[in-house]
Amino acid sequence: MTQHTTATPVTAPAPAVLVLEDGTVHRGAAYGARGARLGEAVFATGMTGYQETLTDPSYARQIVVQTAPHIGNTGINDEDAESRKIWVAGYVVRDAARRPSNWRSRRTLDEELEVQGIVGIKDVDTRSITRHLRSAGAMKAGIFSGDQAARPIAELITEVRAQPSMAGARLAEEVSTDTAYVVEPHEHGWTDEIVATVAAIDLGIKTMTPVRMAERGLRVHVLPAASSFAEIQALGPDGVFLSNGPGDPATAANQIELLREVLEARTPFFGICFGNQILGRALGFGTYKLPFGHRGINQPVMDHATGKVEITSQNHGFAVDAPVGEVLTAPQERFGRVEVSHSSLNDGVVEGLRCLDIPAFSVQYHPEAAAGPHDSAYLFDRFVELMTDASTQTGADTVTPISHDPALTPAPETRGGNPLNA
């Protein structure tokens, strides 16, 4: 007797639409949670590390467009998250993996997005979207899926345009830890005595950053963004660190003033990403919003001290406005001389600052490499040296200015406009 089987019908995915503030519309299928989410549309060029991207607090209130076409292939694991949750406002992918394949995978990316309430869209031409954002700049956007996708487009455009801009956004306190905690060296393979103690201000810190310090024998006290100088002093740290984070550095008045107190006390300082922008403003430089930012794990940076090129991991939409290729007295003259130590080879944007008369330096990129290349791990060693060098603790000037080669300095007129990495 012939047996007949009934095929299970394939359920069509719920519709979704991506709406940009300039009226551009892309239709696709729902991915993750259903609903409506607003944010600033930006693109990230990394071919790997989507879990680290999603959980990077610097992406708060941003809709991330992944240029890599296949996303979700390795699922979600329990080890690679860079914070306590997914921070992106929305997620845009081309081809979402239907079945992840990795020995560490615990669930699909689609499931994780749904559980955490992240609205996404798939089956759209992310390359076309990226080219548009590269030309027109990062802009307000919204993802609308399920029933929300059926609303009139004109209504959705109005809603997108009404949301606040990223310029002027103060977000560090929203993503920072509420309570202080300590990352101990012995928890990360260090077996010798503690080398130094660091007070790390969490402006959106990634998990791997204090781990990289702990691996070098540093005890790291991670403090809330609103911490005071008195609270830092109470710990008696050998150095102070300001982390990455989201938002406009021009709004971080409290952190800027805090850092000025740190610099005046001549406490060794290291900052990355948002911390670099805070150092720039503490020294008296301005900051500005880039047309579409630097986001990816393949960004080339010139180290002006060595002439070497580092391939770096970056995620920033703002930059420090300082001259490249010269030593100058900081606009806040009490902090002495300063120079740009690193710059982008794509567009000349400032990627690092170095103070010559006080123990302080910073970079705009992410040396913790989560995800990304390890070219810049030496910066954590430099921070250790800064704290353990007795001459810097006593205020002696031991820093020699960089001898800049004009041929290696990107033309300043190209700053902020990056024709590559898209």
DSSP code per residue over 355-389: ESSSSEEEESS-TT-SSS--TTTHHHHHHHHHHH-
* Cβ–Cβ under 8 Å, residues 376 and 270: no
Q: How many CB atoms lie within 10 A of CB 123?
A: 17
**Per-residue pLDDT at 248:** 98
> Is 58 annotated as ligand-binding?
yes
Does pLDDT of 406 surpass 70?
no
DSSP string for 251-313:
G-HHHHHHHHHHHHTT--EEEETHHHHHHHHHTT-EEEEEEEEEEEEEEEEEETTT--EEEEE
Q: Which residues contact 94 (CB under 8 A, 6 or more apart)?
A: 66, 69, 70, 71, 122, 123, 124, 125, 126, 127
> Is 277 annotated as ligand-binding?
yes
- 132, 273, 304, 310: the catalytic one is 273
Q: What is the mean pLDDT of the chain?
A: 92
> Is 270 annotated as ligand-binding?
no
> Is 245 annotated as ligand-binding?
yes
- The tens digit of pLDDT for each residue in 44-101 reads 999 899 999 999 999 999 999 999 999 999 999 999 999 999 999 999 999 999 999 9
Q: 127 or 404: which carries more pLDDT confidence? A: 127
366 catalytic? Reply is yes
- The tens digit of pLDDT for each residue in 320-374 reads 999 999 999 999 999 999 999 999 999 999 999 999 999 999 999 999 988 888 8
- 40, 52, 114, 368: the catalytic one is 368
Rounded Cα distance between 397 and 359, Å, is: 9
**172-414 placed in CATH 3.40.50.880:** yes
368 catalytic? Reply is yes
Name the DSSP class of 215: T
Identify the band that residue 6 occupies on the pLDDT scale cut at 50, 70 and 90: low
- The tens digit of pLDDT for each residue in 248-305 reads 999 999 999 999 999 999 999 999 999 999 999 999 999 999 999 999 999 999 999 9
CA angle 301, 282, 207 (to 5 degrees): 55
> Is 318 annotated as ligand-binding?
yes
Does pLDDT of 8 surpass 70?
no
Does pLDDT of 416 surpass 70?
no
Q: How many CB atoms lie within 10 A of CB 400?
A: 8
Query: Within 13 Å, how many C-alpha atoms sit on residue 334's CB side?
Result: 8
> Is 43 annotated as ligand-binding?
no
The helix, strand and coil proportions of the chain, stated in percent and rounded to the nearest 5, come to 25, 30, 45
Query: Considering only CA atoms, which of 119, 83, 104 is closest in space to residue 204?
Result: 83
Q: Please give the sequence-ordered ranges of beta strands (E in DSSP) within 90-154, or none if there are none.
A: 90-92, 95-96, 119-122, 139-145
273 catalytic? Reply is yes
Query: Within 13 Å, how many C-alpha atoms sit on residue 271's CB side?
Result: 33
Instruction: Return the axis-axis angle of helices 274-282 and 253-264, rounded to nearest 10°.
Output: 70
Q: Which residues contact 375 (CB under 8 A, 6 or more apart)?
A: 310, 311, 312
Does pLDDT of 400 surpass 60?
yes
- 221, 304, 342, 366: the catalytic one is 366
**Per-residue pLDDT at 372:** 83
Query: Considering only CA atoms, which of 277, 317, 315, 299 is closest in space to residue 139?
Result: 317
Select from 3.50.30.20, 3.40.50.620, 3.40.1390.30, 3.40.50.300 the CATH code of 15-162.
3.50.30.20
Beta bridge partners of 183: 220
DSSP string for 147-201:
GGGGS-HHHHHHHHHHSPPSTT---HHHHS-SS-EEE-GGGGT--S---EEEEEE
Domain residue spans in the chain? 15-162, 172-414
With the CA atoms of 106, 110, 112 and 116 taken in that order, what torsion angle do they form, in degrees rounded to the nearest 10? -170
Phi, psi (5° rounding) for residue 11? -80, 125
- Kindly give the pairing relationship between strand 119-122 and strand 90-92: parallel
pTM exceeds 0.85 for this model: yes
- In three-state secondary structure terms, 325 is coil
